[in-house]
Amino acid sequence: MEEKLKVRYHSKEIEKLTYIEGKGDWIDLRSAEERKIKKGEFCRISLGISVELPQGYEMLVAPRSSTFQNFGLIQPNSPGVVDESYCGDNDILMMPVYALRDTEIHINDRICQFRILRHQPRLCFEEVESLENEDRGGFGATGIR
């Protein structure tokens, strides 16, 4: 069953949202503005759209794997979380970025990506003395290869 994502475009210049066939189910988001960003600068880049998520869903926004390589940008709040209450016409999606080098962003540059997920179920927290499972080796224990 397909869910409906209502999208309001605030720019006629940006390409419409679409899946890139054969490349997974994350959907690329594009810059809706021209931006020169200096090393060490923080800013928010407009993605030029507002959305209405289906009830019971939230959106995860993360940099594309090439964003750092191509633009020298990191997303300080990565991943960003958008809940379904952020659904007004002027609730324009933005990507907060921090520049690690001088860079330029152009309209339609693919700088981040999103997917939507159902809300986590309500959890009941049960305190125990032991989880009674074998240890895997701790954080970072899987090695490099």
pLDDT of residue 143: 60
How far apart CA 56 and CA 24 sit, in angstroms, is 22
pLDDT of residue 21: 77
Q: What is the mean pLDDT of each run of 10 residues along the chain (145 residues)?
A: 91 93 88 98 98 96 96 94 94 98 98 95 95 82 61
What are the structural domains of the chain?
Answer: 6-118 (2.70.40.10)
pLDDT of residue 96: 97
Distances (CA, A) of 113 to 38, 92, 107, 110, 138: 23, 15, 15, 8, 30
109 is catalytic: no
**pLDDT per position as a tens digit, 36-62:** 999 999 999 999 999 999 999 999 999
pLDDT of residue 2: 83
Q: Which of 25, 83, 89, 109 is catalytic?
A: 83
pLDDT of residue 57: 96
Dihedral (Cα; 36, 101, 45, 56), 10-degree rounding: 170
How far apart CA 59 and CA 37 sit, in angstroms, is 26
pLDDT of residue 74: 97
